[in-house]
Amino acid sequence: MSTSQASPEYTLYLFWISYFSGKMQAYLNYKRIPHRCVEPQWSGELLREILPNTGLMKVPVLRTPLGEWLADSTPMIDWLEARHPDGKVIPDDPVQAFFCRLLEDYADEWLWRPALHYRWSYTTDQQALSRRFAETFLSSQPAPNFITAALVRRRQRLIYVDGDGVTAQTRAHVESIYLDTLDRLQKIFEHQDFLLGDKPCLADYGFFASMFRHFSLDPTPSLIMQQRAPAVFAWVARLWNARHDDAQLGHWCAAGELPPGWDAIIGDIGAAYLPYLLANARAWRDGRRHFDITIQGTGYRKLPVVQYRVWCRERLQQHYAALPDAQRAAVDDRLIAANALEPLLADGRIASGLYDDVEPPLCKPRRYGRLEMLRRFFSGTHWRVPVARA
């Protein structure tokens, strides 16, 4: 359902404090893709325009100049790369392209838990961000701001902290994901401007999602970044300001090669993220809603099964299967060294069913009755509940 007339520019619907909104803003800016940014109201554009056109009450979403609606930052970037080739962020080299996709997926999904933990577990952070919620896209709610902010704090903590496996027993490990990532990135950015060399690649934008809107701006993790990893703090600003036609930008490293600092990150992926994706996919296949897993010696209990992350694993397997034989051997060597090949391929393809009726990032419009609109007004779209697309 799109009644809007074609516009010469894209419209990016976003929240200015949103994880993936910052990623898409930086990417669109780098590519110099004409766009305008709109922060929707919960009971306004989000409910009445974005939901009917995407089936989601989430941002970022993108409306194209032709009136198409796009959602999900990872396939959105693929879609835009094909239509705006200047300043490409995905290398032509198959080895580099595969590992860029692997690091982007890891950064998007595995840094989510610590990013939401720091925002909603620490008093200073939750007070500041809940106030931001209340004064912007929830400002049309009838309750006073202090009540709205308190409700936001309770909801966000229940869903993204208590409901996502962050407990007294797991908290140190959750925070170590952030701290270790800072250390990995600090070593890289002490020697080069971006992850793959002297210009941004897809992996940069994966890490930027959490490192910009959450870790570099929320009070507690921002102070940690400034003190522990100043080169990462500088990279955040550098990537935000990067434009593909800047004459000062250089090149990626030679085809077939990866910077030495990537090995430690791929090691983290093999030790933690891919085993998690495998366990999540098995639980989805078995029809479970929760699962237990021990990651790097820390036991997580009753983690929610996330359909989207079953699709993430499918997609990584597809990119792996598409590698030419010669390049697959080189990829295998790195994955085996990181204990990452087995959890990537174990049990074969476990189908998510997430996008069976639509090709992402394109969205299908859907009609909602009054009762369903009322339900969505109060519940929104839960981040981990399976998505039904009409």
pLDDT one-digit tens code per residue, 96-136? 999 999 999 999 999 999 999 999 999 999 999 999 999 98
Q: What superfamily would CATH give domain 10-86+360-379?
A: Glutaredoxin (3.40.30.10)
Q: What angle do CA 190, 171, 113 make, to 5 degrees?
A: 65
Mean pLDDT of 145-154: 94
Mean pLDDT of the chain: 93
The H or E element that residue 316 is part of is helix 307-321
- Span of 80-89, 231-240, 381-390 with lowest mean pLDDT: 381-390
Is pLDDT above 70 for 215? yes
Contact 300, 317 (CB under 8 A): no
Residue of 390 and 34 predicted with greater confidence = 34
The residue among 257, 266, 278 whose CA lies nearest residue 339 is 266
Instruction: Note the pTM of the prediction, 2 decimals.
Output: 0.94
Residues of the chain with CATH 3.40.30.10: 10-86+360-379
List CB contacts of 369: < 8 A, sequence separation 6 or more: none
What's the token pair of residue 56? 């989601």
Contact 245, 32 (CB under 8 A): yes
pLDDT one-digit tens code per residue, 293-311? 999 999 999 999 999 999 9
Residue 8: is the preceding peptide bond cis (ω within 30°)? Answer: no
Is pLDDT above 90 for 377? no
CATH T-level assignment (fold) for domain 94-345 = Glutathione S-transferase Yfyf (Class Pi); Chain A, domain 2 (1.20.1050)
Is pLDDT above 70 for 347? yes
Distance CA 136, CA 50 (A): 17
Can you give the pLDDT at residue 57? 86
Residues of the chain with CATH 1.20.1050.10: 94-345
Q: Which value, to the nearest 10 degrees, does the dihedral of the CA atoms of residues 293, 294, 300, 304 take?
A: -20
Q: Which value, to the nearest 10 degrees, does the dihedral of the CA atoms of residues 116, 118, 123, 129 take?
A: -50
Mean pLDDT of 369-388: 61
Other CB atoms within 10 Å distance of the CB of residue 182: 21
Is pLDDT above 90 for 382? no
Contact 202, 102 (CB under 8 A): no
Is pLDDT above 60 for 292? yes
pLDDT one-digit tens code per residue, 171-199? 999 999 999 999 999 999 999 999 999 99
